[in-house]
Amino acid sequence: MAKQQTGGERQWYAIHTYSGYENAVARNLKQRIESLGMQDRIFDVVVPTEKKIRVKGGKRVTEEERVYPGYVLVEMIVTDDSWYVVRNTPRVTGFVGSGTQPVPLRQDELDALMNRMQDDAPKHHMDLSPEDMVIITDGPFKELEGKVGEIDEERGKVKVLVSMFGRETPVELDFLQVKKV
């Protein structure tokens, strides 16, 4: 095991985990911190997530989505003991950094990530891109086919170019009103 500095300062580190096991790693690590009495060196464990709106079964559903699949954030003071506890948690593959030395997150990276996680307004997730062909499923233009012109994920809107009277006319719709062809 590489020698780590002892008694450094409290900082955030990213640890790499098996993808899909982030919550299990966070839970295991919190239990290990408690059972091994490491609360004075390992302070917080966070799985970075944000809210997204998806359509499931024709209904809007708000889901938590991992921002960085395969990563968990840990606020800690790196010592030999704290490094060992984190590194040897099941399904942790290592710290993000060069070689055996963990590299703390920069403050601007951390601030951007924390802001993204605390944004209460969920983001819309649309499985569409410009030029996709869609069918309008609701509203006055129901059953018409069109081509996606613009996508506004912030508002959950999509502009569809519909052929009416021999010319393409842009129609702004909610993303729930269209379906890919």
Domain ranges of the chain: 11-124, 133-180
DSSP 3-state of 118: helix
pTM over 0.75: no
Which residues contact residue 136 at a Cβ distance below 8 angstroms, ignoring those fewer than 6 apart? 142, 143, 144, 145, 146, 160, 162, 171, 173, 177, 178
State the pLDDT at residue 45.
96
pLDDT-derived band at 11 (thresholds 50, 70, 90) equals: very high
Higher local confidence (pLDDT), 153 or 95: 95
| Structure tokens, 144 | 């018409």
- pLDDT higher than threshold 50 for residue 147: yes
Sheet containing 59-66, strands listed edge to edge, beginning at the edge strand earlier in sequence: 59-66, 49-56, 123-124
How many CA atoms does the CB half-sphere of 86 hold within 13 Å? 29
- Which CATH code, of 3.40.50.880, 3.40.1210.10, 3.40.605.10, 2.30.30.30, is assigned to 133-180? 2.30.30.30
Higher local confidence (pLDDT), 52 or 96: 96
- pLDDT higher than threshold 80 for residue 16: yes
Please state the CATH superfamily assignment of the domain spanning residues 11-124 in this structure.
NusG, N-terminal domain (3.30.70.940)
Adjacent-strand bridge partners of 121: none
Question: What average pLDDT does this structure show over 47-55?
Answer: 81
State the pLDDT at residue 1.
41
Higher local confidence (pLDDT), 125 or 128: 128
